[in-house]
Structure 1
Amino acid sequence: MTFEAVLASVHLLAILTLVVFLSSQAALCRVEWMNAAVVQRLARLDMIYGIAAIVLLLTGIARLVWGVKGMGGYVASPLFHIKMTLFVIAVLLSLKPTFTFRRWKKALDATGQLPALEEVKQTRKWVMWQSHLVPVIAVVAVFWARGM
Structure 2
Amino acid sequence: MTLEAVLASLHLLAILTLVVFVTSQAALCRSEWMNAAVVQRLARLDAIYGIVAVLLLLTGLARLFWGVKGLAGYTGSPLFHLKMTLFVVGALLSIKPTLAFRRWKRALDASGQLPSEGAIAQTRRWVMWQAHVIPVIAVVAIFWARGM
**TM-score for both structures, normalised by structure 2:** 0.98
Q: Are 1:31 and 2:37 an aligned pair?
A: no
Deviation at 1:129, TM superposition (A): 0.5
CA–CA separation in structure 1 for the residues paired with 2:50 and 2:6:
21
| 1:27 aligned partner, one-letter code | A
Alignment deviations for residues 105-128 of structure 1 (CA, whole Å, 9 cap, x no partner): 111111111011100000000001
* 1:127 corresponds to: 127
Matched, 1:62 2:62: yes
- Which digits, 9 at most, give the CA deviation of each residue in 1:68-90, with x for residues without a partner? 00000000100000000000000
- Aligned to 1:87, the other structure's residue is in SS state helix
In the alignment, the residues of structure 2 paired with residue 128 and residue 30 of structure 1 have an alpha-carbon distance, to the nearest angstrom, of: 12
Shift, 1:20, TM fit:
0.5
- Size of the aligned set, in residue pairs, is 148
Tell me the residue number matched to 1:138: 138
Q: Which runs of 4+ in 1 moved over 6 A?
A: none
Q: Distance in 1 between matches of 2:101 and 2:4?
A: 36
Q: Distance in 2 between matches of 1:74 and 1:139?
A: 16
Q: What whole-Å deviation, never above 9, does each CA across 1:17-65 have from its counterpart, x for those lacking one? A: 0000000000100011111010001011111111110000001011101
Instruction: Give 1:68's aligned amino acid.
Output: V
- Secondary structure at the aligned position of 2:147 is classed as coil
TM-score by length of 1: 0.98
Partner of 1:117: 117
Which 5+ residue runs of structure 1 have no aligned equivalent?
A: none
- Which AA in structure 2 matches 1:74? Y
2:11 is matched with: 11
- The alpha-carbon deviation at position 6 of structure 1 amounts to 1.1
1:147 equivalent to 2:147? Answer yes
Matched letter for residue 118 of structure 2: E
Give the partner amino acid of 1:142.
Answer: I
Partner of 1:122: helix, strand, or coil?
helix
3-state SS in 2 of match to 1:147: coil
Query: What are the ranges of 5 or more consecutive residues in structure 2 without an aligned counterpart?
Result: none
